[in-house]
Amino acid sequence: MRVAVYGIAKDEAANVGGWSSCKDEADYVLLGDTGSTDRTVEVARDAGVRTIRLSVSPWRFDDARNALLAHLPADVDYCVSLDLDERLQPGWRKALEEAVQSGITRVLYPYVWNWREDGTPGITFLRDHAHPRHGYRWRHPVHEVVEPVPGVAEVRGEAPGMTVLHFGDQTKDRTSYLPLLEQAVAEDPYDDRNSHYLAREYLFAGRWDRAEDEFRRHLALPKAIWKPERSASMRYLAEVIWLRRHDLPGGPEEAEGWYLRAAAEAPEYREPWYALMQHYLRTDRPLAAVGMARRGCEVTERRLDYITTPEPWSGVMEQVGGAHSADAPPGQPALDPASA
């Protein structure tokens, strides 16, 4: 089985060296440079990486990845799309081959997206950017996905031993993401995933009115049936309502209602219980916060999808849930909300 690794880059001279380590186990490595002004191309070639220039205008991530994919040799059997700030961990090739030989056609692998301050993994989920060379195309201007073309069936499964670590540069300009997400939603208004992402992006950008509208639209979409993502939209919607109307009559109650709906939608996740705990702490309801913390601690399995966040697993819920003493007088919690 011939395996290729491919990635697009712009001004990634500092990352090419680490990224190119994948060639130790790959049969073919291809980098598509999209207009670097630094030494990305030179450093890549010095590292023995095949490099081509890509010109994509107007810019879309899916068009760039599809153009690069088309340049891979036809005799490649399997591909791994790897961004320049990502690192395949040694042993990935053997794990990939064993998964494919077992009958899996679409390989999933753990992806560590960010890191806590102590250096331990933060948000971690299963990613699917490994795929057969033929019969696949990238779709969406941003937050792009690689999908089988019509008529191609796939068998999805994990490859134990294959891991990718992400070391993102938070100083990079990502202001283009919001207009690209707006474009993605305009192209396919019924795509639930991109609607959720767009609403989140509005929230992060402080455009709370747009965020509220889009979260509500996401929850009303016929395709928005994945409960964990629906729960996340409910949590974010609750936060937007709190930000916009916490000092208005009915605002706190409306926010609380959406937090409770989020927990009911996906009770097997810690995230909604954590959000409720935090909400009750900030509204000076420590007994309710203790209850939510204890309920959240009943969830002991951390699922590998992008909905999960590190905070509910940081020990805070255990601290809050265990801080209420059974010896405290009724109505007098031993917990100081400010300490949690």
Q: Judge whether 106 and 159 are in contact, CB under 8 Å.
A: no
Tens of pLDDT along 42-53?
Answer: 999 999 999 999
Tens of pLDDT along 200-247?
Answer: 999 999 999 999 999 999 999 999 999 999 999 999 999 999 999 999
Residue 339 has pLDDT above 50, yes or no: no
Quick one: pLDDT band at residue 323, thresholds 50, 70, 90?
A: low
Query: To the nearest whole percent, how much of the chain has pLDDT over 90?
Result: 88
Q: Judge whether 130 and 82 are in contact, CB under 8 Å.
A: no
What pLDDT sits at residue 116? Answer: 87
What pLDDT sits at residue 198? Answer: 98
Instruction: Check the CA dihedral 320-261-142-105 and report its sign.
Output: positive
Quick one: pLDDT band at residue 272, thresholds 50, 70, 90?
A: very high
Q: For the chain, what is the mean pLDDT?
A: 92
Residue 298 has pLDDT above 50, yes or no: yes
Alpha helices in 141-226 (DSSP H): 177-187, 192-204, 208-220
Q: Token digits for 178?
A: 């919001």
Tens of pLDDT along 91-136?
Answer: 999 999 999 999 999 999 999 999 988 888 988 999 999 999 999 9
Q: Which domains does the chain have, with CATH numbers?
A: 3-166 (3.90.550.10), 177-339 (1.25.40.10)
What pLDDT sits at residue 166? Answer: 96
305 Cβ neighbours under 8 A, 6+ residues apart: 125, 126, 228
Tens of pLDDT along 170-202?
Answer: 777 677 899 999 999 999 999 999 999 999 999
